[in-house]
Amino acid sequence: MALSKIDLANMLTGLVPNDNTIRRPNAKPLIFNGSMDLSQRYGTTATTITEGYSLDRWEFVEDTDGSATVAQTATVPTGKGFAKSLDVQVTGTDSSIAASQDVRIVQKFEGQDLQVLKYGTSDAEKVTLSFHVKSSTTGTYSATLRHTNTSGTAYVNSLTFSISSANTWEQKVLVFNGNTAQDIRNTNTEGLRLEIYLAVGSNFTSGGGANANSWTTGNTNRASASNVNLMTSTDNDFFLTGIQLEVGEYTSSTLPPFQHESFGDNLARCKRYYETQTGFYFYSFQSGTNVVHDVPINCKVEKRATPTGSFSGSVVSYYPNTSGANSETNNVTAIAIGDKNGSTLLSLNTEAQAPTDAGYYPIYADARNAVANWDAEL
């Protein structure tokens, strides 16, 4: 069949029509850090988390009477092009999950990035979720999309997948129907989240609509009542990598290849939500002892919103006009962030070694072992 002028133009510009969905092969993937290559917060250190971020953009919730660590590992499926995975390791057991308890891996998305899904219209797009998974625990797991509309109401659609062989890498492909009735709010706040459940209480399963591939309000259809409980043994673990979310309906044979980003592109996208910097030198002036002076530092990537900030590590201040005497260490007393560009003032509390003469004196602060963090996660 001859191509139309529109189809030909789309092909030449990298826009390929596919069942009324325009894919953009050169655009960034919807999922952040799906290769699990980035772990700014903890590196490869296994860290006990109850509710918080682990690898970049991946939140972990462990709300049971047990405990678990999350780590970046080099355990990956052979020949798939991945070098890292997210590993959940059970460290404390809970064989009976209470109604309000659950364990899940989560990624949240800004609503303004998901308008391509056209929710709330008759053209609402299906999306295909794919990932590579390995676990010691076979059985049924749940993957859920939860989106928020303009009015702030949440809607959920939950599907199940099965791990059939213990300790074996398997690829899963799930197709979620679009929500034709409700839109996704078009802001920089959360518009959609992906949840993968490793254990779940009855409060999350009591709605009766799990695995129906339909959208319902509230939180009661977020997982299947048949979901496994990973928390039954400290021998249990769960590995995840190669996660992609594609606009449109695909099978394992038609799924587009995983879109590998350069490390730099992946890092820059993740820094919109969290950024850490190490090693600083500060230059400023002061007059008198035991006074507070501010020094500016900046994050390198504009954040989603005005972030919160933290600073840790030692700072040693030197005063050239006093024969190189230095103050005490750990003397950052406050961190103030002005806007989403990360314009930040560190308040340094100078100590008794500062000059006592009138006038302003230069200060050189050595913070090579210090760390600054900016957090604007959803």
HEC readout, 180-210: CCCCCCCCCCEEEEEEEEEEECHHHCCCCCC
Of 207, 242, 271, the last residue of a domain is: 271
CATH (domain of 244): 2.60.120.260
Do 262 and 279 fall within a single domain? Answer: no
Do 128 and 239 fall within a single domain? Answer: yes
What's the domain range around 229? 5-271
pLDDT per residue as tens, the chain (378 positions): 454 443 444 443 344 434 434 444 568 999 999 999 999 999 999 999 999 999 999 999 999 999 999 999 999 999 999 999 999 999 999 999 999 999 999 999 999 999 999 999 999 999 999 999 999 999 999 999 999 999 999 999 999 999 999 999 999 999 999 999 999 999 999 999 999 999 999 999 988 777 889 999 988 899 999 999 999 999 999 999 999 999 999 999 999 999 999 999 999 999 999 999 998 888 777 666 666 778 888 899 999 999 999 988 878 777 666 554 555 555 687 889 988 888 888 887 765 555 555 566 677 788 888 899 999 999
Q: Which residues contact 176 (CB under 8 A, 6 or more apart)?
A: 126, 127, 128, 129, 145, 157, 159, 213
pTM exceeds 0.75: yes
Do 266 and 302 fall within a single domain? Answer: no
Q: What is the pLDDT of residues 3-26, one digit of tens each?
A: 444 344 444 334 443 443 444 456
Split into its structural domains, the chain has a count of: 2
Question: Could you give the 3-state DSSP secondary structure of residue 320?
Answer: helix
Q: What is the pLDDT of residues 271-310, one digit of tens each?
A: 999 999 998 888 777 666 666 778 888 899 999 999 999 9
Query: Cα-Cα-Cα-Cα dihedral of 16, 17, 23, 27, to 10°?
Result: 40
Question: Could you give the 3-state DSSP secondary structure of residue 323?
Answer: coil
Do 236 and 330 fall within a single domain? Answer: no
Of 271, 300, 328, the last residue of a domain is: 271
Do 25 and 163 fall within a single domain? Answer: yes
Of 249, 271, 293, the last residue of a domain is: 271
Do 98 and 233 fall within a single domain? Answer: yes
Q: Are 367 and 327 in contact (CB under 8 A)?
A: no
Do 242 and 316 fall within a single domain? Answer: no
What pLDDT score was predicted for residue 116?
A: 97
Do 330 and 256 fall within a single domain? Answer: no
Do 308 and 192 fall within a single domain? Answer: no
Do 292 and 360 fall within a single domain? Answer: yes
Do 255 and 292 fall within a single domain? Answer: no
